[in-house]
Amino acid sequence: MANKTSKVITVKAKQAPITAQATITAQAPITALAVHTASAQTTTTGKYSAIANVCAVCGKPIVGGCVAGTVGSTCTQHLGKVGMYYKPAPANVQTNASFITLVQLCNHAQSIGLSRGFAVKQTGGDAGCKPPTSAVFTVFVFGKRKYVAQAALQALTALAPKK
């Protein structure tokens, strides 16, 4: 057998820090385009360079032939819809035993053999742009945390494939 060698090249590129200041509330969907302020990033690898512009709404890099300050395709689809199916949580949601966090629901989904994404899709998706599949999967927002009713655990268990 012939010896095969591989060469790993690591290139460090200087990037300007992306600064963002945005406030999103559960009651008011995003309606303005200019929520995020960011500058274009340049990545250099050897003699080639690729410019990745960032989305004006969320700040994620947009790859391809786009102009700085444009909105990414996902943000264009979600514009005005983010959080439209969320409900404000009661004041005692953090101490109330009848609510669990969305993270706890996702952890339960994994423990019964479902994916975290499946649990999130039952609640209407991460951005809350779609309605929940059932009333028990309604998302309540308190601060930056998302909560669902305790009954969602049993409903999710019922959706799990039988072994």
Structural domain spans, the chain? 25-81, 87-159
Q: Answer left, alpha or beta for residue 63, where phi above 0 means left and psi between -120 and 50 means alpha.
A: beta
Closest C-alpha among 22, 14, 15, 63 to residue 39: 15
Full-model pTM: 0.58
Which band of pLDDT confidence, cut at 50, 70 and 90, is reported for residue 126? confident
CB 36 within 8 A of CB 22: yes
For 59-89, what is each residue's pLDDT tens digit?
Answer: 777 776 666 567 887 788 877 888 889 998 8
Task: Name the token pair of 68.
Answer: 């700085």
